[in-house]
């Protein structure tokens, strides 16, 4: 451990110890059909440490101000996929987005604009930030998202070279958060489109050297609601909290459909 | 109220629940009730790996694994169960590979293995490579693979259904499981599931601590539902504090980081674990490392302005190795701390991690009503259960193993039981308890707030029943919990609606945490010794004469309605290994 890094760490830690709060307005899209048929924006102004997560801010509002504010969450560190939402117009996980990264300051040092938060698009909103995830999971189930093999099971593990394992590594990271699918303009216009997440999960098996149902999955994705609908807008790749190269995976599936090699 | 009928009902869709479901769906008509979408379960957060003596990279065998598990658990482990765990580990890993799990591979294409705390060759000689892994997202891959196979098998899920009560019916003087009562999040409707067999796989209870690696949803609902119906909870005083949580946040940084060569350092840059565990050093078992960290902090060698943490140093490892083996946790450091682990050490502190105790079961997953009698038709597996394979301290990588081995066993046993038995009659007015609970909370005009009580509970638990405990701190906790339980009666919720009322469910979850915290503190107070994760400064030694036994805690209700906890004890099963002093 070199000294310069220690200095930097000390600064970071001193900063953390003296946590300073800033006042931020969260403008949240509310909807509760038990109360009103229409959705509306509601502002909440709270003091919060800029190093905290947007999820922490939502909790602060729910716990201290308005218990009816409703959202899904569980792990709080970007691994369970519960809390994809539109934050300042971009799909993100609330638990993986720090306040300091989404607020801007005016000359006086005050936060200049409200942070907007709304449900992800393209799926029916059921209450506040909660959407109906069933169509999303249905598309996932439709691509046969499981290993298919024939013949006798080996007694030990199937062998797979490190290179073959690497081939589909990226798409194994998916947490099914729907940030990609619900950022896709094609999906907004036509909910029948499988959407990027389902294609990512098909990719994960098509390019797994142990799997034997690649052809079948490709046929499913050759459908009119399949990969050819993708217009390569890269919204999905930008949205993915796991850093998966979603568009690249879709392109690889398209190429496999043409060459029939995978 | 709706009534459903299934052969087998599984509560929870984490690793244990889905592993059980894959077996029971093949054999019986099964419903899985889960408060989260299955892939949101906290099994997905597990990073480091799953233990099995595959011996793919060096000599190893299940006997060594059994021994390490027993020693790691400070001899409170039931040795027959540990032997099953270690033996069946090998097939458990191979089964997952065959289901499609993308393990990291050796140069020959076999499943790769790495070191993990407490796992050794030949009874403690040196660390051994026993953990099978998929980068640092092994739990994610297990959860995904099991869900994929549930889709393949057509497992029937009821997503966002919260099980809040366990139904028991007396048949010839014996309590038999009749089903469960669940609350549907989307509609607020209450459902009764009548079932021949019920399996609890609802996970841990870490949210009664503040600094924890556990998800917001880990509130011990399954433990509480059984406990309230008079069933015992075993060894609840044993909770594991993982040495390396991100400072103040508690987000876990896997022990695999130390398995890959990471080193713990104090403010002087000293590798302090050399003093406390000369052989295993940074890879000594978790309770030992967590206590060492706090000893450094207490003796003034902690880091930062408040001296309240130490460093996990990965800076000497090549960036390629960090990218390939530890991509997620290095990203956590960047995202949440703004630290670059290639060049900067990461501030860490112990974090509340794993409940060793839980619903007592035998090795078939059958729930015990006392030291010997089973509750017919009732099963439990995974973190909610206590078999006990982890004893006083769980070894890293043994829980992903536990959920697979005992998830599978309980799935088979429950389905076979369902095939041989008929439904027992539901108790009269089966939903009454849940209905009353929900109505009371919805209509309450009390002044207490859920968030306030929960925070006070968490701060009290962190301060008083964490890594170091004394009679005085535990008594402080017991008194505080009693006060909070009293105030809980005046809790009200703001959301009075039926639709996705998470406000209401957080209130119910808090009630569960309060009950379980009370059991934990009461059990800890009575255990006047130090063993594994339970460390009493006033009784620093293990006391095999008086305490080589499992705690069994029962809820008692007096004639006047007053509640109390009765503690009883259950012998430890010892087969081959005589208790020895634990040194690493
Ligand atoms: C950050 C972290 C890292 C870890 N790393 C490792 C590791 O590397 N190796 C290892 O062996 N172990 C590890 N562990 C421990 C291990 O991951 C867990 O103990 C294990 O995954 C628990 O699995 P489970 O199936 O019992 O519970 P969970 O996966 O927590 O699932 C619980 C399920 O129960 C459901 N549920 C809960 N309450 C209710 C209710 N009231 N009604 C209906 N459903 C309900 C939930 O929806 C969920 O589906 C780690 C733990 C954490 C927190
Ligand atoms: S590909 Fe990325 S954005 Fe899409 S569902 Fe998976 S993790 Fe979420
Ligand atoms: S809460 Fe789990 S991903 Fe955000």
The bound ligand whose nearest atom lies closest to the alpha carbon of A73 is 3
Give the pLDDT band (50/70/90) at residue B90.
Answer: very high
Residue A33: give the domain boundaries. Answer: 21-131
CB atoms B36 and A145 under 8 Å: no
Q: Which residues of B touch A95 (CB under 8 A)?
A: none
Ligand 2 touching residue A242 (CB < 6 A): yes
Q: How far apart are CA B349 and CA B297, in angstroms?
A: 10
pLDDT at B574 over 60: yes
Is residue A8 domain-resident? no
**Out of B151, B338, B345, closest to residue A145 by CB:** B151
Q: How far apart are CA A198 and CA B520, in angstroms?
A: 44
Is residue A194 domain-resident? yes
Is residue A201 domain-resident? yes
pTM for the whole structure = 0.97
B447 Cα to the center of ligand 3, angstroms: 31
Is residue A33 domain-resident? yes
The residue in chain A having the minimum alpha-carbon distance to the alpha carbon of residue B268 is: A1
Q: Which residues of A touch B41 (CB under 8 A)?
A: 80
Q: Are residues A125 and A138 in the same domain?
A: no
A33 lies within 8 A of chain B by CB: yes
Q: Are residues A69 and A177 in the same domain?
A: no
Query: B289 with B273: CB under 8 angstroms?
Result: yes
Q: Which residues of A touch B93 (CB under 8 A)?
A: 157
pLDDT, averaged across chain B: 97
Q: Are residues A139 and A78 in the same domain?
A: no
The DSSP code sequence of B362-429 is: -TT-EEESSSS-EEEEEEE-STTEE-SSSTTSPPTTHHHHHHHHHHHHHHHHHHHHHHH-PPPPPPSS
Is residue A13 domain-resident? no
Task: Supply the DSSP symbol for B249.
Answer: T
A58: domain CATH number is 3.10.20.30
Q: Are residues A199 and A110 in the same domain?
A: no
Report percent pLDDT > 70 for chain B: 100
> A24 phi and psi, to 5 degrees?
-130, 140
Q: How far apart are CA B525 and CA B268, in angstroms?
A: 36
Give the total number of structural domains in chain A. 2
Q: Which residues of A touch B105 (CB under 8 A)?
A: 159-162, 165
The residue in chain B having the minimum alpha-carbon distance to the alpha carbon of residue A128 is: B500
Q: Are residues A81 and A145 in the same domain?
A: no
Is residue A56 domain-resident? yes
Ligand 1 touching residue B46 (CB < 6 A): yes
Q: How far apart are CA B505 and CA A116, in angstroms?
A: 26
Strands (E), B23-69: 30-34, 50-51
A168 lies within 8 A of chain B by CB: yes
Average pLDDT over residues B85-97: 98
Q: Which of B9, B14, B114, B258 to mutate to test the pocket of ligand 1 (most atoms within 8 A of CB)?
A: B14
The pLDDT assigned to A3 comes to 44
CA separation, residue A231 to residues A226, A259, B151 (Å): 12, 20, 29
B39 Cα to the center of ligand 2, angstroms: 13
Is residue A11 domain-resident? no
Q: Of all protein residues, whose CA lies closest to atom 2 belonging to ligand 2?
A: A240
Q: Are residues A98 and A143 in the same domain?
A: no
The DSSP code sequence of A138-200 is: HHHHHT--S----SPPPSSPPP--HHHHHHTTGGGG-----TTGGG-HHHHH-TTS--HHHHH
For B480-531, the pLDDT digits (tens) are 999 999 999 999 999 999 999 999 999 999 999 999 999 999 999 999 999 9
Annotated binding site of B: 12-17, 34-49, 221, 242, 254, 353, 383, 394, 399-400
Ligand 1 touching residue B191 (CB < 6 A): no
**Which atom of ligand 1 is nearest the CA belonging to B163?**
42
B353 lies within 8 A of chain A by CB: no
**Which atom of ligand 3 is nearest the CA belonging to A79?**
3
Predicted ipTM > 0.85: yes
Domains plus CATH for chain B?
251-350 (3.90.700.10), 432-543 (1.20.58.100)
Q: Are residues A122 and A181 in the same domain?
A: no
Q: How far apart are CA B557 and CA B564, in angstroms?
A: 6
Residues 6+ apart with CB under 8 A from B91: none
Q: Are residues A110 and A190 in the same domain?
A: no
Maximum Cα interatomic distance, chain B, rounded to a whole number of Å = 69
Question: H or E stretch including A87?
Answer: strand A84-87
Q: Are residues A145 and A253 in the same domain?
A: yes
**Out of A17, A149, A208, closest to residue B306 by CB:** A17
Closest CA to B137 of B336, B332, B3: B332
B162 Cα to the center of ligand 1, angstroms: 16
CA separation, residue A142 to residues A192, A225, A249, B160 (Å): 12, 12, 18, 22
Minimal C-alpha gap between A200 and chain B (Å): 13
Q: How far apart are CA A191 and CA A236, in angstroms?
A: 15
Average pLDDT over residues B197-206: 98
Question: H or E stretch including B179?
Answer: strand B174-184
The pLDDT assigned to A4 comes to 44
CA separation, residue B267 to residues B262, B299, B301, B307, B402 (Å): 16, 11, 6, 8, 37
Give the pLDDT band (50/70/90) at residue B582.
Answer: confident
Q: Which of A74, A92, A179 to mutate to test the pocket of ligand 3 (most atoms within 8 A of CB)?
A: A74
Ligand 1 touching residue B252 (CB < 6 A): yes
> B431 phi and psi, to 5 degrees?
-90, 5
Query: B202 with B221: CB under 8 angstroms?
Result: yes
The pLDDT assigned to A11 comes to 64
Q: Are residues A117 and A146 in the same domain?
A: no
B239-246, strands of its sheet edge to edge: B239-246, B346-355, B310-313, B263-265
B286 has catalytic annotation:
yes
Q: Are residues A80 and A183 in the same domain?
A: no
Q: Across the strands, what pairs with B310?
A: B348
Annotated binding site of B for FAD: 12-17, 34-49, 221, 383, 399-400
CB atoms B109 and A147 under 8 Å: no
Average pLDDT over residues B389-413: 97
Q: How far apart are CA B245 and CA B524, in angstroms?
A: 24
For B140-177, the pLDDT digits (tens) are 999 999 999 999 999 999 999 999 999 999 999 999 99
Q: Are residues A247 and A138 in the same domain?
A: yes
Report percent pLDDT > 90 for chain B: 97
**Which atom of ligand 3 is nearest the CA belonging to A72?**
1
Interfacial A residues in 220-249 facing B (CB < 8 Å): none
Is residue A120 domain-resident? yes
Per-residue pLDDT of chain A (262 residues; tens, 9 = 90+): 444 455 566 666 666 655 689 999 999 999 999 999 999 999 999 999 999 999 999 999 999 999 999 999 999 999 999 999 999 999 999 999 999 999 999 998 899 999 999 999 999 999 999 999 999 999 999 999 999 999 988 999 999 999 999 999 999 999 999 999 999 999 999 989 999 999 999 999 999 999 999 999 999 999 988 999 999 999 999 999 999 999 999 999 999 999 987 8
Catalytic residue among B115, B258, B286, B536: B286
A188: domain CATH number is 1.10.1060.10
Is A258 exposed, middle or buried (CB count within 10 Å of its CB: 0-12, 13-18, 19+)?
exposed
């Amino acid at each position: 451990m070199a000294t310069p890094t220690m200095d930097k760490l000390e600064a970071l830690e001193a900063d953390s110890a003296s946590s300073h709060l800033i006042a931020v307005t969260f403008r949240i899209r509310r909807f509760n059909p038990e109360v009103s048929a229409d959705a509306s924006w509601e502002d909440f102004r709270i003091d919060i440490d800029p190093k905290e997560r947007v999820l922490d801010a939502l909790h602060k509002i729910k716990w201290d101000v308005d218990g009816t504010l409703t959202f899904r969450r569980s792990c709080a560190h970007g691994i369970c996929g519960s809390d994809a939402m539109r934050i300042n117009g971009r799909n993100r996980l609330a638990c993986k987005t720090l306040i300091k990264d989404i607020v801007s300051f005016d000359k006086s040092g005050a936060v200049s604009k409200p942070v907007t938060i709304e449900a992800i698009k393209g799926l029916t909103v059921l209450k506040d930030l909660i959407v109906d995830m069933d169509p999303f999971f249905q598309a996932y189930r439709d691509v046969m998202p499981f290993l298919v093999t024939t013949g006798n099971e080996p007694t030990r593990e199937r062998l797979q070279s490190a290179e073959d394992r690497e081939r589909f590594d990226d798409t194994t990271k998916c947490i099914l958060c729907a940030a990609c699918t619900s950022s896709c303009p094609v999906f907004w216009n036509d909910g029948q489109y499988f959407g990027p997440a389902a294609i990512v999960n098909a990719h994960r098996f098509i390019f797994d050297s142990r799997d034997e149902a690649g052809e079948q999955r490709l046929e499913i994705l050759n459908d009119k609601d399949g990969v050819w609908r993708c217009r390569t807008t890269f919204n999905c790749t930008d949205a993915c909290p796991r850093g998966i190269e979603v568009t690249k995976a879709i392109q690889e599936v398209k190429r496999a459909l043409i060459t029939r090699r995978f | 109220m709706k009534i459903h009928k299934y052969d087998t009902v599984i509560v929870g869709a984490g690793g244990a629940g889905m592993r059980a479901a894959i077996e029971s769906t093949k054999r019986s008509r099964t419903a899985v009730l889960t408060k989260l979408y299955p892939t949101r379960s906290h099994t997905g957060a597990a990073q480091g790996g799953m233990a099995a003596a595959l011996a793919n990279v060096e000599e190893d065998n299940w006997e060594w694994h059994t021994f390490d598990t027993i020693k790691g658990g400070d001899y409170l482990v039931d040795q027959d169960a540990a032997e099953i765990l270690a033996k069946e580990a090998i097939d458990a890993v191979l089964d997952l590979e065959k289901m499609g799990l993308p393990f990291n591979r050796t140069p020959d294409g076999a499943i790769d293995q790495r070191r993990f705390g407490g796992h050794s060759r030949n009874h403690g000689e040196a660390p051994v490579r026993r953990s099978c892994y998929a980068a640092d997202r092994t739990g994610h891959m297990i959860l995904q693979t099991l869900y994929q196979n549930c889709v393949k098998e057509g497992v029937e899920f009821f997503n966002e259904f919260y099980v809040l009560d366990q139904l028991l019916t007396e048949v010839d003087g014996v309590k038999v499981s009749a089903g469960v009562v669940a609350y549907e999040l989307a509609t607020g409707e209450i459902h009764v599931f009548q079932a021949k067999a019920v399996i609890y796989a609802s996970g841990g209870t870490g949210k009664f601590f503040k600094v924890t690696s556990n998800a917001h949803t880990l509130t011990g609902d399954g433990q509480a539902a059984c406990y309230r119906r008079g069933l015992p909870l075993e060894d609840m005083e044993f909770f594991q504090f993982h040495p390396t949580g991100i400072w103040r946040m508690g987000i876990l940084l896997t022990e695999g980081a130390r398995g890959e060569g990471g080193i713990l350092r104090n403010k002087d840059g000293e590798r302090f674990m050399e003093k406390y565990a000369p052989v295993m050093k940074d890879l000594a078992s978790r309770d030992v490392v967590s206590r060492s960290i706090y000893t450094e902090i207490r003796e003034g060698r902690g880091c930062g302005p408040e001296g309240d943490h130490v460093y996990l140093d990965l800076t000497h490892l090549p960036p390629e190795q960090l990218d390939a083996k530890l991509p997620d946790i290095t990203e956590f450091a960047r995202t949440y701390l703004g630290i670059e682990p290639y060049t900067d050490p990461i501030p860490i502190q112990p974090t509340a991690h794993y409940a060793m105790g839980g619903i007592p079961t035998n090795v078939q997953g059958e729930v015990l009503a006392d030291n010997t009698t089973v509750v017919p038709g009732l099963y439990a597996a995974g973190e909610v259960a206590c078999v006990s394979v982890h004893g006083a301290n769980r070894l890293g990588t043994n829980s992903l193993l536990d959920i697979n081995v005992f998830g599978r066993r309980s799935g088979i046993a429950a389905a076979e039981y369902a095939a041989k038995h008929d439904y027992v009659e539901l108790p009269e007015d089966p939903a009454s308890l849940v209905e009353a609970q929900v109505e009371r909370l919805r209509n309450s005009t009390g002044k207490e707030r859920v968030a306030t009580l929960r925070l006070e509970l968490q701060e009290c638990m962190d301060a008083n029943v964490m890594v170091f405990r004394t009679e005085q701190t535990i008594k402080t906790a017991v008194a505080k919990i009693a006060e909070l339980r009293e105030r809980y009666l005046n809790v009200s919720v703001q959301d009075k609606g039926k639709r996705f009322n998470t406000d209401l469910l957080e209130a119910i979850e808090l009630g569960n945490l309060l009950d379980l915290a009370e059991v934990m503190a009461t059990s800890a107070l009575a255990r006047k010794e130090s063993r594994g994760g339970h460390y009493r400064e006033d009784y620093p030694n293990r006391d095999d004469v008086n305490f080589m036994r499992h705690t069994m805690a029962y809820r008692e209700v007096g004639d006047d309605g007053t509640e109390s906890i009765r503690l009883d004890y259950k012998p430890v099963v010892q087969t081959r290994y005589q208790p020895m002093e634990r040194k690493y």
